[in-house]
């Protein structure tokens, strides 16, 4: 009687899967398609918002400086305190705006492409460490941050800077171990912990 009750309980037992297990069950091709859908959504949404939203004050400053066209004219405007970003940013804005007839989209093109690039580069960085499934989930979280909801369609350098930071992270992740000082080889985990590596070099030089 007891054996029958135990067997009936085992038959009625419900097994639960953790979200990580369900996520890892997705095929790799589906993850890549999901990444493309997320990136395409970010581009489409940002283009639509850029087309219908007028410039606000900071974007007007970008517009005014970028319209100068030449490096010398841009530098002269920056010397007068019109805006405070590097001159290269305004040269890139001037070039991007010349590609499209719609100035609202043209001057915001760098931010639109910059956010999508940051999303893709973050996926690449996380995929190396945690796998493609978790990388897709974590990189998609950028869609609920102010970087997307506020700055992905602005004629300002925020999204571009985020993309460059993500690119630097990917490059650093793939950089081989190097010898920073003669006769010293970094430990295996030094590339993931630059602070401890730097302290180790300092101690060696002091001693």
d(CA 101, CA 113): 17
The predicted structure's pLDDT at residue 103: 92
Tell me which residue range forms the domain holding 90. Answer: 29-176
- Structural domain includes residue 186: no
The predicted structure's pLDDT at residue 175: 85
Say if residues 94 and 66 touch (Cβ distance below 8 Å): yes
pLDDT tens for each residue of the chain, 207 residues long: 444 444 444 455 544 445 555 556 667 778 889 999 999 999 999 999 999 999 999 999 999 999 998 899 999 999 988 888 999 999 999 999 999 999 999 999 999 999 999 999 999 999 988 888 899 999 999 999 999 999 999 999 999 999 999 999 999 988 876 555 445 555 545 444 554 444 443 344 333
pTM: 0.73
Q: How many distinct structural domains can be found in the chain?
A: 1
d(CA 181, CA 200): 11
Provide the β-strand partners of residue 184.
181
- Structural domain includes residue 42: yes
């Amino acid at each position: 009687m007891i054996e029958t009750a135990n067997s009936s309980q085992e038959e009625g037992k419900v097994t639960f899967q953790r979200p990580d297990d369900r996520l890892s069950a997705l095929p790799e091709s589906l993850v890549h398609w999901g990444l493309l859908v997320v990136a395409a959504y970010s581009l489409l949404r940002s283009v639509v918002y850029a087309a219908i939203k007028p410039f606000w004050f900071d974007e007007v400053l970008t517009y005014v400086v970028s319209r100068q066209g030449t490096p010398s004219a841009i530098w002269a405007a920056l010397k007068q305190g019109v805006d405070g970003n590097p001159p290269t940013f305004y040269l890139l804005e001037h070039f991007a705006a010349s590609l499209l007839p719609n100035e609202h989209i043209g001057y915001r093109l760098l931010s639109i492409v910059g956010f999508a690039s940051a999303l893709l580069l973050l996926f690449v960085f996380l995929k190396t460490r945690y796998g493609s499934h978790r990388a897709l989930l974590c990189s998609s979280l950028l869609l609920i941050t102010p970087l997307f909801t506020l700055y992905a369609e602005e004629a300002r350098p925020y999204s571009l800077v985020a993309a460059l930071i993500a690119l630097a992270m990917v490059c650093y992740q793939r950089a081989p171990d190097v010898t920073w000082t003669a006769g010293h080889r970094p430990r295996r985990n030094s590339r993931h912990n630059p602070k401890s590596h730097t302290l180790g070099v300092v101690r060696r030089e002091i001693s």
